Chains A and B, each alone.
Chain A
Amino acid sequence: MAERTGTVKFLTGLGAVATALKMADIDVASSYPIRPYTGAMMMLSQMAARGELDLEFVHGEGEHGQLGIAHGASAAGARAFTGSSGVGVTYAMETYSPISGGRCPVQMLIGNRTLDPPGDFGSEHTDALSTRDQGWLMGWAHTPQEAFDNTLMFYRIGEDARVSLPQMNCQDGYFITHIPAKVVIPSQEEVNKFLPPLNFPDALDPLNPLGHGPQLFPGQGHVLEADRVNAMMGAFPVIDEVVNAFNAQFGTDYAPFVEQYRCEDAEYVLFINGGHAYTAKFAVNHMREKGMKIGLVRPRWIRPWATDVVADILSKFKAVGVVETNNAFGAARQAGILTLEVATSLYQCDKKPVLTAFMGGLGGEVIRLDEFYYMGDVLKKVAAEGKADRTAYWIGFHNV
């Protein structure tokens, strides 16, 4: 494996993404301000103003228009970028399916923010997860370095002719978007080698008018849906291939789908998505020092959901606690959205772990180390008893 080399910088998640976008030589960016993702657009506009990046920077009249601009740019063959947060993500809801159905590989940065009320600055995942079934690839970074790397990997996966789908490049508002950390920036030559220029078939051209997204004949609707399923589920081998190519070239060790941290002899694990996984890793280390057999499992992709990988990994343990940084009101088990996915994945297993969830980080709250210790205590108890009293333990509300 190659050694990770390059310029070391101290960057926020937004700075990391903006730097990666510059190196990816994007053609069009469409913006609309909403915290906390906005900083990425600020940096892009500065790059364009200074002439560092040949960029068409278009300001939308709202998030719906913003996504429309990115859709049109991508359909015309440009490498397009857009982004949003919180209620901005949901305001653009209509546009997601046409973009993925039109197979336009737009990349969208989502700096997660709590939906209204209260529209907190930080980082509930409910905004992005509400759009999970619209045909976009979707994954989270848990460090600024991963945000940089994901930006390049997502473009290559999404633009691959076998996939050709838009991507949601998500990171936790505040915790990743605004807290700087060490980021190793590879050379431009290395990035060019990894990410070839976009070659979009059937790009819009006034000399050869095409109909994008036209009406279908009766009897074709379900064929289109099947086509879209094939594109999404056909992404699995491409993701595997691209993540491995990235690891080989840049000396990283990303799991293609699901990261396992200290899981070797673990009896119970936290299943946690996004930025809080970074704190959770420290908590796991501390609990390990006290002799608890705890591990951490982190999905790198929410769409497509790696059912078999998640099932293989989680069925090895006695108990699984899904840390939900989102809320699914009235859903099965009344926890969050990830519980639905995890429980469904485990259904096929002969040996099922005890499953429960932890509701934390809601309204953008921090999940503190002592709160992860509490989760560890609950998991130890439910693993020993072979059952859980609750489908979801709310941090700060329930005793062990």
Chain B
Amino acid sequence: MKERYKKYTVDIPEDMKIPYACIVESPKVNGEQPQMLTGGWRIYRPVVDHDKCVLCKSCILACPDATVLLVDGGQKIGFNLDYCKGCGLCTWVCPVNAIDRVPELDFEDGVPFQDALFLLPHVERLYAD
């Protein structure tokens, strides 16, 4: 049975193999998986008003990219801006309206002014040839 259907399947060389169903661990520290920095897509940056924040952690659960973090020894909400795409879900779920969406253009280090986010390593390789 197996032999008969061998002609329909593809032998994938060891060095080309990818993780099962592309399931990978979420990045935990900045700079991990540098080819997959998605922060460069962001138009609005999440900014927390720490006076309003009640540390309910709804935003941590809602973030589709696991970019909302507890910082300062668990006393504050922070964002991993290398990966935050600026989707705004955290703002949407916040029960006390503590997360504002500020245009990236308003920041000196805003996405449009950064070279680094666009000169990703694999893009550099492509242009090097």
Contact = CB atoms under 8 A, between A and B. Distances in A.
Interface in A205-244: 206, 208-218, 220, 223-224, 226-227, 229-230, 233-234, 236-237, 240
B1 A240 contact: yes
B10 A230 contact: yes
Nearest to B16: A223
Contact of A227 (B1, B12, B25): B12
A202 interface: yes
Given A202-B20, A217-B35, A240-B1, A230 B25 contact: no
A209 B66 contact: yes
B26 interface: yes
A119 interface: no
Interface in B15-54: 16-18, 20-26, 28, 35-36, 38
Which of B18, B122, B126 counts the most A-chain CB atoms under 10 A from its CB? Answer: B18
Interface residues of A, number: 32
Interface of B: 1-2, 4-5, 8-10, 12, 16-18, 20-26, 28, 35-36, 38, 61, 66, 122, 126
Contacts, number: 77
Contact of B18 (A206, A227, A237): A227
A233 B9 contact: yes
A202 B22 CA distance: 11
A77 interface: no
Nearest to A308: B4
Contacts of A216: 18, 22
A101 interface: yes
A229 B61 CA distance: 34
Nearest to A225: B10
15 contacts: A101-B22, A102-B23, A209-B25, A209-B28, A210-B24, A211-B25, A212-B23, A216-B22, A217-B36, A227-B12, A230-B10, A237-B1, A237-B2, A240-B1, A308-B4
Considering the complex of A and B, which 4 residue pairs feature the smallest CB-CB distances, nearest first?
Answer: A209-B26, A226-B10, A233-B8, A103-B21
Interface of A: 101-103, 164, 201-202, 206, 208-218, 220, 223-224, 226-227, 229-230, 233-234, 236-237, 240, 307-308
Nearest to A221: B18
Contacts of A102: 21, 23
A215 B16 contact: no
Contacts of A308: 4-5
A202 B61 CA distance: 18
B10 A218 contact: no
